[in-house]
Structure 1
C-alpha cells in the first residue's frame, strides 16, 4: 500500500559555501522532529530521468557507517528532490582551514577518521569522486565524517566506474580525457585534501589563482599543471609540516595512479606513522607569522616579524613559563640579523623544524 505524506521544514539559511554543482544546502528546522537538520535541494531539472531522483539517498543509505554522514529521509515535490541529514554546528573542515591550517596531529586524526568512512565506501563497491574539505563534516564530538554522495558511482566487476561531472579543483590527472576511473582517483583527492588541511586555504588558493584568468575561468595551463604534477606544488609545504607527512601526501598525489597508495588502508597506515612535530599551531595575522606549541609547563613560540623601520624580516623564538608568564629567548630559534624577504625568514624557520624532526 503506497502512502503519501506531507513533510514540512522551515529554511533558516544557506550553508553549502556554494560548492555544490547541482544543489544547495540549507540549515532548516524540522517541526516534526523538533530540531534542526541539513536540507539538500536538487532541482528535478538536473536529472536526466526519474530513476536518478533518489540515487544519492539510496547510496547514503547503503553506506551506513559511523564515519559517513547518515541520511534521515528523502522526498520530492514538483520542483525539487530533497534530502535531510543531521546538522552539525561545527560545520566542515573547510571552515577550519579558511582560518588556519590544522596542526599535524589534527591532520592525522581527522584524516584517518574520514578515510575510515571512505574505506567502507570502497568495500561497498563505490567510488566517492568528491573528496574535499567541504565534504568532511565535523560531528558534535569533534570527529570527522564523510559527506555528499551526489557524485558517487558504483563500480563494475573490474573495479571501474563512469566518471560524473566533477569539482574542477580536485580533478585527478587520469580523469582528463577518460570516461571511467578507479578508487585510485579517490586516493588522489584524499592526498589533495590532506595537502589543504596541513597548508591551509591561503597557500592552496594562492597557487590555484595562478591558473584562473581575469574572467574567472581556468587557463589552459591549469590542465597542463595537473598532468605534469605542478599543481598543487608538491615542493612547497609550510615549515612545520614533517617530512614523513610530506612523503605520504606526495605519494597519494602521484600523477601515475600505479605509484599512489593502492588502497585507503595503505594510506591510513602511512598516515598513522607520522610521529613528529605533531603539536605546532600555525597562525598568520597583520603582526606576522607565528608557530605555537603548548604543554603543561611551557608555551613555545617561533615568530616571523616585519620591522617597518629597516624593512627587514626577523625570526624570534621564545619559551614562556605558564605558571608566571616568564619569557626566555631561545637563541637557536632566533635570527642574528634580518632577512630581506619573508621567504628567506621562512627558510630559516624551516631549518629549525628540520632540526627538531631529526
Structure 2
C-alpha cells in the first residue's frame, strides 16, 4: 500500500496493525495535511452484506462530533479497498503512557473524565464502542485523550475469528462478561466495564486478569475470578478509590455505575477525599519527639518537638545550697535580735 494513492491521499507509511484493520500515514495535498487511513481486510469488500453494514456504521461514526473523539474525515470503498480517513496524531497512546509506569491519581482522573465524556456522548447516539483499551486512546502533546476505533468491532463482527479464536470480536483483557458470553445486544454498561479495567491498569500498571491464552482470560471475566486488589499493587490507594474501580468492574451490569460519567465523578470524588484526609492528618499531627513520618502520598514530613513553656526547674544541688543559706540567715538574725534585747 505504501506509495499508493487512496481517497485522494498519498500513502506514506504503515503506522499500526491490529486484528481488524491496518493503519497508514498519508498526505492529503488538497488540505496540505497528514491524515491516518484505516484500511479493512480486502476480502471483506467481497461480501455485499458487509459492505452495507460498513456504510451504515461508518456514516453513524462519522457523525460523532466530540472534543475527545478522534474525528473521521471521510470513508468509502475504492478498488475493493474499504477505508476510513481520520485525523493523524503522532504523540502516542495511553498504552505507551502506561508502559512508563502507573499514572498519578490526578492524571488518571483527568483522562478518565475525558474518555467517559466521549463514551457517554456516543452512547447517547446509540453507539457502543465494544473495544475500549489503552491502545485505542490517543494522547496529544498536552496530555488530552482522544478515543478512536468507534464501531470497528461491530462492523467486522461475524466476519472473522478475531483475537479470541472463538468468533468473538474484541480484546480479551478488556472485554465485559456479557461480551465474552457472545451477547449481541450490548449496552453502555459493557463499555463501562472495559473502562473500569483501563482505570485499574492506569493506577496499577497492570490488567486485572492475565493468563496464557485468550480463552483463559475470557473464562476469568465470565466467572468473576478473584483478582489482585488494586491496593495491593499500589499501597497508597485508599479503600474508597478501590471500591469505585471494583464497582465499575462488577460482573452484573446492573451493579455498575449508571453512566461512564458517573464512574469518573465517583473516582474524582474518592481521590479528592483521600487527598483531603491525608492533608488534614498531616496538619493535626501532635509532635512528641523530632522524627520523620511517612504521609499518604509517600512524601516525608518532619515534625519537631516543641519547647516547654513552663518555668525552669532547679537542680537538686542548687536547691540544697539555697536551703542551707536560708537557715543560716535565720539563725544569724535570731542571734542579733537576742543581743539587742540584752543590751537594752
User: Which residue in the other structure is 1:302 paired with?
Assistant: none
1:188 paired with 2:193, answer yes
Provide the C-alpha distance between the structure 1 equivalents of 2:256 and 2:300, rounded to a whole number of angstroms.
29
Query: Does the residue aligned with 1:126 lie in a helix, a strand or coil?
Result: coil
Provide the C-alpha distance between the structure 1 equivalents of 2:272 and 2:153, rounded to a whole number of angstroms.
34
Mapping of residues 56-71 of structure 1, within 5 Å = 56-71=57-72
Q: Which has the larger radius of gyration?
A: 2
Provide the C-alpha distance between the structure 1 equivalents of 2:274 and 2:22, rounded to a whole number of angstroms.
39
Query: Does the residue aligned with 1:27 lie in a helix, a strand or coil?
Result: strand
Query: Does the residue aligned with 1:255 lie in a helix, a strand or coil?
Result: coil
User: Structure 2-normalised TM-score?
Assistant: 0.68
From 10, 23, 42, the counterpart of 1:25: 23
253 and 8 in structure 1: CA distance in 2 versus 1, 3 angstrom threshold: same
Structure 1 stretches lacking a partner, 5+ long: 154-162, 279-328, 334-348
174 and 233 in structure 1: CA distance in 2 versus 1, 3 angstrom threshold: farther
Do 1:133 and 1:193's aligned partners in 2 also have CA atoms closer than 8 Å?
Answer: yes
Provide the C-alpha distance between the structure 1 equivalents of 2:226 and 2:14, rounded to a whole number of angstroms.
31
Higher fraction of strand: 1
From 173, 176, 179, the counterpart of 2:180: 176
Mapping of residues 134-213 of structure 1, within 5 Å = 134-149=135-150, 150-152=152-154, 165-177=169-181, 178-200=183-205, 203-204=206-207, 208=210, 211-212=211-212
Provide the C-alpha distance between the structure 2 equivalents of 1:82 and 1:330, rounded to a whole number of angstroms.
64
Provide the C-alpha distance between the structure 1 equivalents of 2:93 and 2:123, rounded to a whole number of angstroms.
22
User: Which residue in the other structure is 1:113 paired with?
Assistant: 114
Do 2:168 and 2:180's aligned partners in 1 also have CA atoms closer than 8 Å?
Answer: no
Query: Does the residue aligned with 1:151 lie in a helix, a strand or coil?
Result: helix
Provide the C-alpha distance between the structure 2 equivalents of 1:58 and 1:231, rounded to a whole number of angstroms.
41
User: Structure 1-normalised TM-score?
Assistant: 0.65
Structure 2 stretches lacking a partner, 5+ long: 156-166, 276-289, 302-344
| Count of aligned pairs | 265
Mapping of residues 214-225 of structure 1, within 5 Å = 217-218=213-214, 220=216, 222-225=217-220
Deviations 1:245-272 (A, max 9, x none): 2211110001121111122232122122
User: Which residue in the other structure is 1:240 paired with?
Assistant: 236
332 and 250 in structure 1: CA distance in 2 versus 1, 3 angstrom threshold: same
